[in-house]
Amino acid sequence: MTTALIDMKTVARDHRGLRVALAGELDFHTAARVEPRLAELAGFGHRNMVLDLSGISFCDSSGIELFLRLHQRCHGAGTRLLLCGAPPLLVKSMRVLGVDRGLPLSVT
């Protein structure tokens, strides 16, 4: 049995906001591992929080639900959440589910 891996790192923190990169597989188990730290970062009062998803190799509905919860948390803290670099399959899934209408998604 293999364990899915996820890596999270803060790429930049400056006057424009915070940039966090995720890499690996975002599923039920890994989303539960990164959510507390992302929620903590969302509450710091940054003007913007950019979540770079270009390193995501897999994302199921648990990952998409994580993005929605993070968006709510950021909104409550006065922070703008932007998802960028999402792989095409993830973008397609988010569009099919209608999630892209509520979440700022930058397709690169």
Contact 39, 71 (CB under 8 A): no
Which of 35, 107, 106 is CA-nearest to residue 72?
35
From CA 39, how far away is CA 4, in angstroms rounded?
A: 21
pLDDT at res. 14: 82
pLDDT at residue 73, as a whole number: 93
- pLDDT tens track, the chain, 108 positions: 455 689 999 888 888 889 999 999 999 999 999 999 999 998 888 899 999 999 999 999 999 999 999 999 999 999 999 999 999 999 999 999 998 888 877 765
Model-level pTM greater than 0.85?
Answer: yes
pLDDT of residue 85: 94
Please name the helix (run of DSSP H) or strand (run of DSSP E) that holds residue 80, with its range, or none. Answer: strand 80-84
d(CA 25, CA 29): 9
pLDDT recorded at residue 1: 45
